[in-house]
Structure 1
Amino acid sequence: MKNINILIIEDQLIIYLHLIKVLNSIGLKKIFVARNAEKAIEIAKSRKINLLLSDIKIQGEKTGIDAVSVIQTIYNVPVIFITAFYDNEILKKISNIDIIGYLLKPYRVDELEVLIKLAIEKYNLNSNDNNIVYKNYIYCFKENKLFYNDIEVELTKKEKILVHLLFTNINKIITYDTLENIIWQNNYVLENTRRNLIYRFKKKNPDLNILIEKNVGISLSI
């Protein structure tokens, strides 16, 4: 389980320190902590997260639900919600989220461990295969790097986010709204700016089968 990256989205020090202790006790050591949605999204964009443990009410304007929704548009990652709040409105908000379980604080350690182990088995998180091979390309999830004929492709910061989105959503359309949300963090972006980013990336990687759906989005077809 040493290769499993876990992101805790929690703003209470005592809670996330206890979660870290529980995770360490079952052999999970690669743990990242975010106390607000913005930091959580930043961490998820910089490395592949395998499992989320998230509170709902956290620091800032955005909730844990908001953070998880954005992260799950980047790549498919399961979540366990751990919160003191539980009502029909919250249930409605999380209905479209890929959720493993929902624990109320104060949670029982044994119940948390069961949900974590369930996520590991269901999503095959113990797999050591962190690479995707396509034609002469290798995409390394762990390092978020793209190689062509064993030579690393030089990418800008935004291009790295784009390649991460493409390879974690193979054969799925990534809408332009999602691109703007993830890459530019909802800041206003000109269509020309978005188009230039895609054009430069395609020019650097002519052998990648990148499909463009006019006025919809892009996808990597394999």
Structure 2
Amino acid sequence: MKILIIEDEFILATDLSDTLEAEGYEVVFVADNGPEALEFYQKNEVDLVLCDIHINGDWDGIETVKRLIDVRQSPIIYLTAFTDAETLERAKETYPAAYIPKPYHIVNLRMAIEMAINNFAMRVHPMKILKDTKTDVARKEAILQVNECIFIKQNYQFVKFRLDDILYLEAESMYTNIVTSQKKYVIRQTVGGVLERLPIKHLVRIHRSYAVNIHRIESFNEHEVIINGQAFPLGRSFKDEFMRQFMFR
């Protein structure tokens, strides 16, 4: 997860950055003023913003955040020593995911980040979230979409990958392996359940145990499909649907 930090205290910013990196997040930039943060935000991918309210320059943190969300929406968490009612009312106008007083505790920050991503995905793509909320499994194994990326929970935090990076899905008992070009993720859902929730038209079931990204296919024949040098069986009952993905000339 790519995080932008806006903080004017160098030691605190460094400590926060190191803590987040140790937690598995990626701090893509640290700015100590609004214009610098805005310039980076306009040109780069950012998943979440952690912002102090008292920062260098003419813009405070709240004004900076207003300018950021004018560019595009992102989840915002304020980390600040300001807890007065007036500041809090101004901060509310930017609809932050959390407002955490300094000094922060990493456990509270970790929970705030998770809730921020979850609530932001619900607000931006309400129909793209895991739909079946009747079971404990469904609540624990949420699949969240933010723009062209997917967040799934792994080891108590949400991790992100791009939709186009998915190579294939593989069934393994009650679990599904989501295999990307970089890594394998495990989610407690069936392949069919994952397919219902991932908004990818080119992810196609080819076998009871496999679904593949047709954009990543290297070759195929009557019996198997090759992706990244690996062969996957093409089941007889899935062959017609698989062939419908291609335009014949």
Q: For this structure pair, what is the TM-score category when the shorter chain's length is used for normalisation?
A: 0.5 to 0.7
Residue matched to 1:115: 112
- Alpha-carbon distance change, 14 to 30 in structure 1, aligned in 2, over 3 angstroms: closer
Cα distance, 1:130 vs structure 2: 6.7
Tell me how large the CA RMSD over aligned residues is. Answer: 1.7
Cα distance, 1:71 vs structure 2: 0.5
Residue matched to 2:42: 45
- Greater helix percent: which structure? 1
Residue matched to 1:62: 59
Gaps of 5+ in 1: 132-222
Residue matched to 1:84: 81
Matched, 1:94 2:111: no
Max Rg structure: 2
Distance in 1 between the 2:33 and 2:48 partners?
A: 17
Calculate percent identity across the aligned residue pairs: 32
Distance in 2 between the 1:45 and 1:82 partners?
A: 22
Report if aligned partners of 1:8, 1:53 keep a CA contact under 8 Å in 2.
yes
Gaps of 5+ in 2: 122-143, 152-159, 165-249
* TM-score using structure 1 length: 0.54
Q: Could you say which structure has the greater relative contact order, defined with CA pairs below 8 angstroms and 6 or more residues apart? A: 1
Residue matched to 2:18: 21
Cα distance, 1:113 vs structure 2: 1.0
Cα distance, 1:121 vs structure 2: 3.0
- Alpha-carbon distance change, 59 to 130 in structure 1, aligned in 2, over 3 angstroms: farther
Query: CA-to-partner distance for each residue in 1:23-62, whole Å, 9 max, x for gaps?
Result: 1122112421110000010011011211000000100111
Amino acid in the other structure paired with 2:30: V
Distance in 2 between the 1:23 and 1:78 partners?
A: 16
Q: How does 1:1-222 map to 2 (within 5 A)?
A: 4-122=1-119, 123=121, 124=144, 126=151, 127-129=160-162
Report if aligned partners of 1:20, 1:31 keep a CA contact under 8 Å in 2.
no
Distance in 1 between the 2:113 and 2:28 partners?
A: 13
Cα distance, 1:114 vs structure 2: 0.8
Report if aligned partners of 1:77, 1:98 keep a CA contact under 8 Å in 2.
no
Query: CA-to-partner distance for each residue in 1:170-221, whole Å, 9 max, x for gaps?
Result: xxxxxxxxxxxxxxxxxxxxxxxxxxxxxxxxxxxxxxxxxxxxxxxxxxxx
Amino acid in the other structure paired with 2:84: D
